[in-house]
Every structure is written in structure tokens, then in C-alpha cells.
Amino acid sequence: MFGRIAGRYDLMNTVMTGGIDRLWRRWTAAAALVPPGGLVLDVGTGTGDLALDIARRIDGARVVGLDYTAPMLARAPAKAARQGVADRVAWVRGDGQRLPFPDDAFDAVTSAFVLRNFADLHSAYAEMARVVRPGGRVVALELSPDSLPVWRPVFELYFRNIVPGLGRWLTGDPNAYTYLPASVAAFLGPDALAAVMRDAGLVPLPPRKLMLGSLVIHAGFKPRRADARATV
């Protein structure tokens, strides 16, 4: 499905969110606390927006953008060239549940709107925790089913009735965005996701809730040995 809509994916994100998705990605990049010159892995990078934001905003940062869908990934290099960061971003086709990188390879691992698409979220988090260095953060921007009760009916109305129609209109694919409401409803809230992070060996940080809880920046860090002893 992502391969079919790759050419209109960026446009759909802009229209669907009113362009505010750029701000969400900026906050996600900031939450990763990437050091100057750091090496970052962006999992499920798609057409590269979060990876490119990190490369532009963090002095000397180098980013590896990984995605499973070749047509999405194919659009990223041209965007990197237009933004002047092609020399600091590499693109890899791969599976987020079997990352092709050694242990402790990255200063941070990020993702945006990817967690809901993993067949095995525990395996994905175990892999992200494996490749991040001790002290480094794993940060994910994701939709959440736990929005505030006063906002939830509006959010669900938009995602169930309006977003699929926008998807049909903008992408020409009648089924492209019909999965989205169900995937959000079936996903984990912040507390349950924090438990997944703990199972992977990460220390969860307080989630940052956006859009009255319908969107969350989930963050955790890989403890150093001293940190690990302190949490026992």
C-alpha cells in the first residue's frame, strides 16, 4: 500500500495535518537529544522527512534512514539533495524488526508514525534498543487511542470519515487510508507502550502528549551500566 501511494504520500501528510506534522517531527528530533556530530538511525523513514529534519537541525549529525518499502525510500535522496544534506544522510532498505546494524551503533534511534505498522512491536523495540548506544535515546512519534474524552469523538470522526476520503481523492487509491482508524484504535496507549520499552531494556521517559493526547512522543533511553544498577 505504501508503495502505491509513495508519489502522493508527502502531499497527503501536509493536507491531512494542515502542515503541522512538520512541527511534530521537529519536536521529535529535539527529544532525541542528538549530540553534535552524532549518528542517528531513523526507522521506517519513508520519504525521509524526520531523517532530513535531524540532519538539518543538528550540527554535523549523520543520519541513516531505513525503510522496508522501496518506492517510498526512492524519493528520499532527491529531497536530501534539495535540502543540502545529501552528504550526511544514507538510505538503507531493510526490516525494522531485523536491523542490519551492529550493537550500540547509534547515538539515537527515531521513528515517526511507524510503530503501528510493526507485526511484532516487541521485536522492533528490542532491535532499536540493541543498536542504540548506552545513554542514547529511542524516540517515536505516534498516534494514540488515549486522547482526552472531550476530544476523542472529534478525532475519531475525522479519522474514520474524512481521512479515508482525502486519501482516495489525493492518492487515487480507494483503500490507501482505510486502515488508519483501525490501526489507531488497536494500538497501545502510553502506559502500555512504556511497558514494551521496559521489556526491551529501555528506561521510559514521561510521554509528551500532543493534540489533546491523540498524538504522543514516546521516549526512552538505554541505561549505562551504572544506570542499570540504579534501577534494580
Q: What pLDDT is attached to residue 104?
A: 98
Q: CB-based contacts of 190: which residues, under 8 Å, 6+ apart? A: 144, 146, 207, 209, 216, 218
40 assigned to some structural domain: yes
Q: What pLDDT is attached to residue 232?
A: 40
Q: Answer for the pair 12, 166: CB distance below 8 angstroms, yes or no.
A: yes
Supply the CATH number for residue 42's domain: 3.40.50.150
Q: What pLDDT is attached to residue 209?
A: 96
Single-letter residue type at 192: A
Q: H/E element holding 66?
A: strand 62-67
Q: Which residues pair with 204 in a beta bridge?
A: 220
33 assigned to some structural domain: yes
Mean pLDDT on 55-82: 96
159 assigned to some structural domain: no
* φ, ψ (nearest 5 deg) of residue 205: -105, 160
Number of domains in the chain: 1
194 assigned to some structural domain: yes
229, pLDDT greater than 60: no
pLDDT band at 227 (very low <50, low <70, confident <90, very high): low
Measured distance CA(159)–CA(149) in Å, rounded: 16
pLDDT one-digit tens code per residue, 139-177: 999 999 988 777 788 878 777 788 878 888 878 877 777
Share of the chain above pLDDT 90, in %: 69
Q: What pLDDT is attached to residue 178?
A: 81
Range of the domain at 73: 6-145+188-224
226, pLDDT greater than 70: no
* Three-state DSSP state, 209: strand
Nearest to 140 by CA among 39, 17, 41: 41
171 assigned to some structural domain: no
* Three-state DSSP state, 189: coil
222 or 212: whose pLDDT is higher? Answer: 222
173 assigned to some structural domain: no
pLDDT one-digit tens code per residue, 181-199: 888 888 999 999 999 999 9
116 assigned to some structural domain: yes
102 assigned to some structural domain: yes
